[in-house]
Structure 1
Amino acid sequence: MAIPNEKLQEVLREIEAKASFSAQQLQIVRGQIASKNREKRMLQLSSSELDTVPVETPVYDGVGKMFVLTTTKEIQSRQTKESGDVDKELDNLGKKLHYLETTYNNAQQHLERIFKGSAGQS
C-alpha cells in the first residue's frame, strides 16, 4: 500500500519544518547555556575575590547608576542566591537541550526512513 505523493510531500514538509525549528532552537539553547556558564563563572570569581577582602572593609554594591554601601555578608548571600538560580536555569536548559536534540534526531531518522522507503519503491 503506497502513500499518495501529496500526502508524502505534506509529511516531508512537516518533518523538515520540525527538524529546522529544532536545529534553530538547539543553537539558541546552546548560546543560553554558554551565557549562563559565563555568568556562573563570574559569580565564582567575584565570590573568591570577596573572600580575600577583610570583613570590616567597606564594600559598595552597584545599583543602577549609583553605588550603595553594604557588607560583604550581604553581597555573599546575594551571590549565593544568584548562583543557585543560575544552577536551576542551567538544569532547565540542559533538559530543554536534551528534548530538542531528541526531537531533531527523531526528525532526521524519519526523513531517512521516508527517503529509503521511497527509493526502495522506485
Structure 2
Amino acid sequence: MSISNEALQKLVQEIESQAINSQRDLLKVKQSIASKTREIRLLELTSKEVSTLPSGTNVYEGVGKMFVFSPTAEVDKRLTTETTDLKSDIKNLEKKIQYLETTVKNSREHMDQIFNSGGRA
C-alpha cells in the first residue's frame, strides 16, 4: 500500500515542523540551564563571602532602591535555599532535555524511514 504524494508531503512537513520546534525548545532549555548555573555560582560565591564575615557584622541586602539590614544567618539561609531551588530546576530541565533530544532523534528516524521506503507505508 502506498501513500499519495500529497499525504506523504504533509506527513514529512509535520515531522519536520516537530523536529524544528523541538530543536528550538532544546536550545532554550540549554540556555536556561546555563543561566541558572551562573546564578548558582554567584549565590555560592556570595555565601562563601558571607560565611567569612565575623558573627557581629552588619549585612544589608538590596530591596528595590533601598538596603535593609539582615542578620548573616538569615542571608546565608536564603542563599542556601535559592541554591537548592535552582539545582532542582536544573534537574527538571535536564529531564526536559532528554525528552526533547529523543523527540528530535525520533523525528529524524521517521523522516529517514519515509525517504528510504520511497513513499510506501
Where on the TM-score scale, by shorter chain, does this alignment land: which range? over 0.9
How far is 1:84 from its partner?
Answer: 1.2
Name which structure has the greater RCO, CA cutoff 8 Å, separation 6+. Answer: 2
Match of 1:52 in 2: 52
Match of 1:78 in 2: 78
Amino acid at match of 2:62: G
CA distance in 2, matches of 1:111, 1:45: 47
SS in 2 for 1:56: coil
Q: List aligned pairs for 1:81-120, cutoff 5 A.
A: 81-118=81-118
Q: How high is the sequence identity, in percent, across the aligned residues?
A: 46
CA distance in 2, matches of 1:73, 1:64: 22
Q: Does 1:4 align with 2:39?
A: no
Moved over 6 A (4+): none
TM-score, structure 2 as length reference: 0.95
SS in 2 for 1:30: helix
SS in 2 for 1:60: strand
Amino acid at match of 1:38: R
Amino acid at match of 1:97: I
CA distance in 1, matches of 2:21, 2:45: 36
TM-score, structure 1 as length reference: 0.94
Q: Where in structure 1 are there 5+ consecutive unaligned residues?
A: none
What is the aligned-residue RMSD (CA, Å)?
Answer: 1.2
Q: List aligned pairs for 1:4-83, cutoff 5 A.
A: 4-83=4-83
Q: Where in structure 2 are there 5+ consecutive unaligned residues?
A: none
